[in-house]
Structure 1
Amino acid sequence: MTSIDHRGAGAVVRPRGVLGRLPSYVAGKPAAAVQGLTSFKLSSNENPLPPLPAVLESIASAVDINRYPDATASRLRAALGDFLGVPAEDIVTGGGSLGALNQILAAFAGQNEAGPADEVIYAWRSFEAYPISVGLAGALSVQVPVKADGTHDLDAMAAAVTPNTRVILLCTPNNPTGPVLTLAETERFLAAVPSDVVVVIDEAYQEFVRRPDAVDGIELYRNYPNVVVLRTFSKAHGLAGLRVGYSVSRPELTRYLRVSAVPFAVSSLAEEAALVSLAHFDEVAERVQGLVDERERVVAGLRSLGWQVPDAQGNFVWLALGADSPGFAAQAEQRALSVRAFGEEGVRVSIGEVEANDRFLELCAAYTNAPAGF
């Protein structure tokens, strides 16, 4: 029998039109190899330390990965409920905080059966996955520029609300610029926003925050039924590769998130690692404080060089280098440092090992086009 080759025949398969309008997510790249230098990746806001020894020990002997995990990660939700002082039923896990965010968008924002698409408001620049996730959900992105100092313009965001607004994303600390939202300004914002609009407090870097008046999403969730809090085990706990995130919201919202949640998003291996890490949170907190100390040292070093940088409350710093951003990233690469340039807007540099941070400061001391003023 003669086989028929159908390649190239018939109509061309086309994706949804929205894909042609969305940016692609750009992951941080490893540093290039440079002879005589240790390479350091400072481009992905990863914790430079491995998981706790107890975590590695707990997952090393896992043999039941031929079985599906608990679909709702009930043991982890129970432990988180105790840790946060919230009902376990108010927690929905996801594949990282991004997975949990996608579940929120799937439940509350998209293309309607009739009428215009729902709108999702967020600051920009902020987490680069936001426009991708919003677009894939079928919703319309409404981007409100951050202020010159990298903070959210909450007044402008409130003014951007329309009858089509369904979700607002608040990233605090804001990735990639670094500042946090304060409790007072966030409560004023919530008072100005219709109570039927879902407000997401994205706190992926919450453990690194040291500003005393910073907002605490869990406190807001207790008082505002339309607030959803996003958190993750990727950053402070060093479990980025295992993808464990979660949302916290009141039952009025959580009941819908359970419908949109991806089954088995958190593997049994990831759940066990998160459980053990949470049980040893005092050790996690000690490691985080070490990174915070390094962050403060780096920020002080930059400012002593005359560099103007926004308030850094995550595990990274933002350099508003504008058109000089690609050139700075290229010079870093020549020094075996990988940093994250965002077009011609700025460069985000993660806090890494002491040697890496020292080399970064040395680069900044030799660089002649430092950002000046906001």
Structure 2
Amino acid sequence: MSTAAEHIAAAEAHSAHNYHPLPVVVASAEGAWVTDVEGRRYLDMLAGYSALNFGHRNPRLIEAAKAQLDRVTLTSRAFHHDRFARFCTELAELCGMEMVLPMNTGAEAVETAVKTARKWGYQVKGVPDGQARIIVAADNFHGRTTTIVSFSTDPEARADFGPYTPGFDVVPYGDLAALEAALDERTVAVLMEPVQGEAGVLVPPAGYWAGVRRLTEERGILFIADEIQSGLGRTGRTFASEHEGVVPDMYVLGKALGGGVVPVSAVASSSEVLGVYRPGEHGSTFGGNPLACAVALEVLAMLRTGEYQQRAAELGDHLHNELALLAGTGAVTQVRGRGLWAGVDIAPDHGTGRQISERLLERGVLVKDTHGSTIRLAPPLVVSKEDLDWGLDQLRAVLSA
């Protein structure tokens, strides 16, 4: 197969159609740019939904992976290895927590958070067995396992996958009164995203995140922040929760933690919370493997400098200033976001989000639509201002056509 059309035809014939990719076949990548099988270059303005915060094939991360490949890649948790303790220690320190439970994918980390909250609720809080409740927000996206889609409000993610797992209560995102009304003696946790990524980069009203923290502290309820997309520099802070001075009881992390090289996820919390586990109660063959830890340790080292958070803050301000000008043209109805992350709602007479994404593809820019009319912009944090401006120029050209 040499042409994009041949690759796409083969994929359509032999892979399940659980995705609807744009018609581009990437063959190589570096930094904020990718190159397709026919040699055309594209500016990546999606960055793997934040998995590529540090760009494609970041030299520091590739070097860390190569060095570890020459040593040991997998032991399983049946044995200790020489990267594990340091990874857990340094990630716990970055989060201001005491303990870490490593997994692989974001969905696995969310499942781990759910199991942890329930077990803590029974063993520590004293909720009667089998009655634990976890409150989540409408329009959430935490993954696609059978348990997670049970508390999704997205018909595409949820329909035809029942029977659904009980134990979850859904409240409107950003409505503190509704959350307070839903809390009761069986509530063990509130699980939410500080910025709802898949929903269109929705930022809650000012004070909401701090209000959730206050309510959960008052009621003795775990506050779980899903920072899989929003964390590790994307919003201009190490964690999006920091924008309101909030430290949750538990962070759920993934995507950027693996540097775009390997899947790495983790839950970070206190020893009181993660200390509820005993051997055999939860685990993962690949969770915390040596290769994953080696790459993630380099990610943590890069984050400790603050350089990437500062870039996201500064370029994010520029991005939102430019997008605000678009919002006044009639082509864009609303712009939302935080840091180097934005959701752009396209006016209906200018096309759907998918159509705008396809037109940008033709001009050498990769973005992704969501919920019909919205496109998401989340370039790697290493993108240059010149490249970012070029990408925005292409968006302006598409919207003015």
* Aligned counterpart, 1:203: 227
Query: What SS does the aligned partner of 2:219 have?
Result: coil
2:298 is aligned, of 259, 263, 276, to 276
Q: 1:261 to 1:157 in 2, by over 3 A?
A: farther
* Aligned counterpart, 1:21: none
Q: Per-residue deviation at 1:76?
A: 0.9
Distance 1:296 1:262 in 2: 40
Q: 1:211 to 1:156 in 2, by over 3 A?
A: farther
Q: Per-residue deviation at 1:253?
A: 1.8
Question: Is 1:189–2:192 an aligned residue pair?
Answer: no
After TM superposition, the score normalised by the length of structure 2 is 0.65
Q: Per-residue deviation at 1:255?
A: 2.3
The residue type paired with residue 286 of structure 1 is: E
Q: Per-residue deviation at 1:169?
A: 1.6
* Aligned counterpart, 1:95: 104
Counterparts of 1:1-374 in structure 2, within 5 Å, are: 26=19, 31=24, 37-43=40-46, 44-45=48-49, 46-47=52-53, 49-50=55-56, 52-61=58-67, 62=69, 63-65=71-73, 67-68=75-76, 73-87=84-98, 90-108=99-117, 119-127=133-141, 129=143, 133-135=147-149, 138-139=165-166, 142-146=169-173, 152-161=174-183, 165-176=187-198, 177-178=200-201, 184-193=207-216, 195=219, 197-204=221-228, 205-206=230-231, 207-210=233-236, 215-216=241-242, 227-232=249-254, 234-235=255-256, 239-256=259-276, 259-282=281-304, 285-305=306-326, 306=328, 307=332, 309-321=334-346, 324-352=352-380, 353-354=383-384, 357-368=388-399
Q: Per-residue deviation at 1:164?
A: 5.8
Point out where structure 1 has 5 or more consecutive residues left out of the alignment.
1-23, 147-151
Q: Any idea what the Cα deviations from partners look like across 1:100-123, whole Å, max 9, x if unmatched?
A: 22112234459x9x9998654333
After superposing on structure 2, the runs of 4+ consecutive aligned residues of structure 1 that deviate more than 6 Å are 114-117, 211-214
Q: 1:36 to 1:357 in 2, by over 3 A?
A: farther
After TM superposition, the score normalised by the length of structure 1 is 0.69
Percent identity over the alignment is: 16
Q: Per-residue deviation at 1:34?
A: 10
Q: Per-residue deviation at 1:200?
A: 0.8
Q: Per-residue deviation at 1:173?
A: 3.0
Point out where structure 2 has 5 or more consecutive residues left out of the alignment.
1-16, 26-35, 123-127, 151-163
Q: 1:115 to 1:277 in 2, by over 3 A?
A: closer
Q: Any idea what the Cα deviations from partners look like across 1:198-257, whole Å, max 9, x if unmatched?
A: 321122333233489963399755xx7xx222234x32x661341222222223321235
Q: Is the 8 A contact 2:189 2:221 kept in 1?
A: yes
Q: 1:190 to 1:276 in 2, by over 3 A?
A: closer
Distance 1:160 1:244 in 2: 33
Alignment RMSD (CA, Å): 4.3
Indicate the larger mover: 133-142 or 263-272.
133-142
